[in-house]
Structure 1
Amino acid sequence: MVGSFGLLVLLCSLPSVVPLRCYTCLFPAITPLDCLKFPLECPPEQRCLASTAIGTRGDAYPVILYEKSCAVASQCGLSGQKYAMGLNFTYTNECCDTDLCNTAPYRPGAILSLLLPLFLVLALW
């Protein structure tokens, strides 16, 4: 009886490996719309990613894209530049680690922090 109880305690104390579920976008969304998102089980050691990218070309209005997926930790917190669809994009990646936590289409603070440098550059032209 004591042996069975000890085994039960041992099994209960082992960490359970439950895959994290994150939203993933079928296609990136252009503001103000959210993407067509579906829950997806992430591989072990990955987190939920929400990425915002602001693209510009010349004097055209900025294009804002939202993407969601699973990501390795090295992708989290990154920002930078990329070129796609004939536009120069400034992107920011944010991660979270609870089920379906990357649900919001955008955070106004994150968008403002991306748009402010863009407006300053355009004002200097």
Structure 2
Amino acid sequence: MTRTFEEWKSWYEAHAEPADPIEGASLYFEPEHGFFYYKIFPDIRAMYVDHFATDNYQYLFRRAREIARAAGCGEVITQTFHPAKAYARLSKAHLDLEHSTRGENGKWYWAFTEVLNNVESNRT
């Protein structure tokens, strides 16, 4: 289904939380598949994906991996307030308890890290 960015953002906010990206984040958007914000951290060779709205998680996360690799990143980091077990099954990323935290809104956010170019962690 094709939607405008505002339609995708409204859908996300109705089902999750306000889509307020972290400072310095960039937007990736496809009308057919949704959006995510991301920020590259070159000092740790990682890309942080923030506020992910899609009708096809596997497709859009492949795009995130492509952006990360092109930027020279070795990891993709995400956080979610959804159940950790379900997110791990969907993303194939590894739970990162060190970076899991309670947000300013009071919700607990599980952090996940996927090491790129690792056959075991890239199953999608």
Please give the TM-score of this superposition, normalised by the length of structure 1: 0.30
Specify which structure has the higher proportion of strand: 1
Q: Which has the larger radius of gyration?
A: 1
Specify which structure has the higher proportion of helix: 2
Greater relative contact order, per chain length (Cα 8 Å cut-off, separation 6+): 1
